[in-house]
Amino acid sequence: MNLNLTYYHVASDVPENKTDIAVVIDVLRATTTIAWALKNGADSVEVFADLDLLREKALKWAPEKRVMLAERGGKKIDGFDLGNSPLTVTKKIVEGKRLFMSTTNGTKALQKVENSQFLFPMALTNRKSVADRIISLNKSNILILGSGWEGNYSLEDSLAAGALADYLIKSHNTKVNIVNDELNAALALWHFWKDDVLKCLKTATHGKRLASIGDYEDDFKCCSQIDCLDIVPTQVERGVIRAF
Ligand code: MLT
């Protein structure tokens, strides 16, 4: 197998062409929250860029079968059940339910590549599981998309892109082509920070943003854990993600 790995920092840079596999990363915190919600038994997560559309769709569901999550600028939006913390999507709250979710960047990035043949949201927590699924699918073109911050580069998403590339290079016998320098740089970042991921997250601009608006210490710890979840969040219909 010949894996071509391309990495884009932000959704607006991604060409419209359909790719075999898209992996969307938002370490702080959307894809970490999605992975934990599914691990804790959520039936599915439906993602929205637009809050009005989210409300419209969610309100058609039975209240006891839905949870509405919305975050902007790192903060929960009033009137929604939850914000975007992986610590809040506990079994008690999410089990058996559909989560309707909108975040500043992560859910927009997911929408950008929703036409890919396979779409996997990935965090550091489920890097290995997603990488193993990519290998098992035996496809050539893999696009990795960092959610960034409102159109800008983000350190933590690049770190995770490098972590994914590193795993694929080391664990697969066939050739891995690193198609662009963004991913070469992400690999270098991973090699530099891999023994202190927590520090990397706190050094990142969005880490500093979160730290300036509240006590997010436990979120940082949760988001920095590598390979602790055996969950492969997978888009099963446009915008709807389930665990595999
Ligand atoms: C996002 O989508 O931009 C993030 O997940 C923001 C956050 O930390 O809540």
Q: Where are the domains of the chain?
A: 2-243
Q: 164 falls in which pLDDT band (50, 70, 90)?
A: very high
pLDDT above 70: residue 116: yes
Span from the CA of 10 to the centroid of ligand 1 (angstroms): 13
Architecture label for domain 2-243:
Alpha-Beta Complex (3.90)
Give how far the C-alpha of residue 86 lies from the chain's centroid of Cα atoms, to the nearest Å. Answer: 12
Could you give the percent of the chain with pLDDT greater than 90? 92
Cβ distance 113 to 25 under 8 Å?
A: no
- The pick from 50, 51, 71, 108 for probing ligand 1's pocket by mutation, whose C-beta has the most ligand atoms within 8 angstroms, reads 71
* Ligand 1 centroid to residue 15 C-alpha, Å: 23
- Measured distance CA(125)–CA(148) in Å, rounded: 18
Residue 196, number of CB atoms within 10 A of its CB = 12
Its pTM surpasses 0.85: yes
Confidence category of residue 15, pLDDT binned at 50, 70, 90? confident
Confidence of residue 1 (pLDDT cuts 50, 70, 90): low
Q: Which pLDDT value is given to residue 50? A: 96
Query: Which atom of ligand 1 approaches the CA of 71 most closely?
Result: 9
Establish whether residue 116 lines the binding site of ligand 1, counting it when its CB lies within 6 angstroms of any ligand atom. Answer: no
Q: Does 219 contact ligand 1 (Cβ within 6 A)?
A: no
Which atom belonging to ligand 1 lies closest to the Cα atom of 149? 3
Q: Looking at the CA of residue 33, tell me the nearest atom of ligand 1.
A: 5
Is 34 near ligand 1, meaning CB less than 6 Å away? no
Angle at 1 between CA 242 and CA 14, to 5 degrees: 55
pLDDT band at 18 (very low <50, low <70, confident <90, very high): confident
- Does residue 239 line the site of ligand 1, with CB under 6 A? no
Residue 52 has pLDDT above 70, yes or no: yes
Residue 122 is predicted with a pLDDT of: 98
What's the mean pLDDT in 226-233?
98
